[in-house]
Amino acid sequence: MAYQGKKLINDPNDVVTEFIEGMVETYPGLQYLDGFPGIKVVLRADVVGLTYDKVAVICGGGSGHEPAHSGFVGEGMLTAAVLGDVFASPHVDAILAGIRSVTGPMGCLLIVTNYTGDRLNFGLAAEQAKSEGYKIETIVVGDDCALPPARGITGRRGLAGTILITKIAGAAAAAGLSLDEVAEVAKHASEMVGTMGVALSVCTLPGQVTSDRLGPGKMELGLGIHGEPGAAVADLQPVDLVVSHVLKQILSRETNYLTLPRGSHIVLLINGLGGTPTMELMIASGKAVLQLQLEHGLIVDRVYTGSFMTSLDMAGFSISIMKVGPEILQHLDAPTRAPFWPVGVSGNRPATKTPVPIPRFGSARNEELLIRPRELNEQGYILEAAIEAGAKEIINLKDALNEWDSKVGDGDCGSTMFRGAMAILEDMKESYPLNDAAETIKEIGDSVGRVMGGTSGILYSILCKAAYAKLKESSVITPLQWTNALEASIEAISKYGGAIAGYRTMLDALIPASKTLKESLDAGKDSLTAFLLSSEAAVNGAEATKNMSAQAGRSSYVSADILMTVPDPGAMAVAGWYRAAALAVKSKHFSCFGI
């Protein structure tokens, strides 16, 4: 199956030229050569070849791998990058133009990724430049570890490890080393790096159709960066297992590409292939560091995570490992003005990163009070029953809340509430002072505030803090105090959240509950009956949100036709735990307020 790929471009034939024009407009330190259409060269704006007094470092290849290689042009890294069309090697004239533009008396190092077209075109350009009197050295980088050692002349493909080589070579050149010395440093580094990639999708070339070669639930292992098939197709696995497989392949003693004894110092590069969110790259990075340290016994000195050498819009990542010593680390840490090099990574990192403890709040908080009593009084049993029932009902509602929220929000209401409910049940076992209702409500707020993100977490924290403040006004908690606490919570939520009745929010369950609770008590009904009646009002209020137009939150962006099909998830969550708490109290034949 294939379909037309969506691209924000003009003419597919002009994408590289227009990319370069935008790049140099964005970064003042970059310039480009203006010549006939085949010349696509990005170079440092401050370098004039005839007078440049350092070794020039040039890399290049087909476009579509951005930010490689043009994004790494800058002082301390590449002097120029020569670009071909998408996934096509630059031709000889373009490479020669780049050499002539930035090469001075110290000479030029060409860093070439190991693909036949690149080797041939850069090789011919090097020979031509030498015949013109330029001092030229060339190294070919092949860091691919996905396939068994090649029997023919093709060899290992050049992948994201090339970016590490360009950084090291650029730093060596900036330090004033000779051409032979820069070439030797770069060659040594290229022999110390291995890379393997994993893809979840196939890339789409500008103006062409998108292939669905992989199909749903599949991933490709050991792919290249030009959309070519990988070494194997497998079922999609959790990232822990994917990272483990890739690391074992890179460090395999069977291929012997990068065999490192335990205790070796390395740097790690996690490279996004173009369509992978930063979140997923960082997850892979964290897992890779732990596995390298714990399972392989390696010392990870630097971690570089981001998109360095992509494959257009391909989803996936590659992992590169390089063995390092003090000299290489010095070159990696050296300053650079290349736009896409992660400048914040330099400097030694501890062998193990541990979380920093949260500073303790210096209040009059009584830590001895915050412990579950050995024996519960009547109020304690009431609170325990109500809290446990409410939390378990939220757990049961998780999928339904997510389903409703997927239609009118971002689809995570159930998951968010589930985290809060689980935290409440866990914390209640140890730290809720259930015989003190006010402190218990305060601790519930702390529990949900710790684990529930987004708007829901903060609103529930506000609800609990406001209720706590009102309950603390009296040493004896009566039904009236509970009623006042609920009203105070609603007032606080409305004040800070901006919603009122009818806005299709959690308040549309809380407000009817509060109103009914107060009216029932004023009418002389006992506290349990009032609680049950108010819980029915909460349920009815939540169901009524189907007929409301949203005026707060993400639902306010959703059409009325969709809103009418589902109730507000936040209101339904309130109705769920409120009703469950009331029924739990009733089942134990307790008075709701224990008074």
Annotated binding site for substrate: 62-65, 118
Beta-ladder partners of 197 = 318
Phi, psi of 259 (to 5 degrees): -90, 115
The Cα angle at residue 397 between residues 396 and 400, in degrees rounded to 5: 135
Which H/E stretch holds residue 200? none
Does residue 205 contact residue 331 with C-beta atoms inside 8 Å?
no
Q: Residues 91, 226, 245, 296: which is the catalytic one?
A: 226
Instruction: Name the residue among 443, 436, 507, 446 with its Cα closest to residue 474.
Output: 436
Binding residue ranges: 62-65, 118
d(CA 149, CA 559): 58
For the chain, how big is the Rg over CA atoms in Å?
Answer: 32
Residue position matching structure tokens 């999708």: 201
Q: Are strands 108-113 and 56-63 parallel, antiparallel or unpaired?
A: parallel
Does residue 563 contact residue 550 with C-beta atoms inside 8 Å?
yes
For residue 567, how many other CB atoms are within 10 A of its CB?
23
d(CA 227, CA 362): 57
Any catalytic annotation for residue 226? yes
d(CA 261, CA 159): 24
Q: Answer positive or negative: Cα dihedral of 362, 364, 366, 370.
A: negative
- Collapsing DSSP states into helix, strand and coil, what is residue 162? helix
Tell me whether residue 96 is exposed, middle or buried, using C-beta atoms within 10 angstroms of its C-beta: 0 to 12, 13 to 18, 19 or more.
buried
Residues annotated as part of the active site = 226
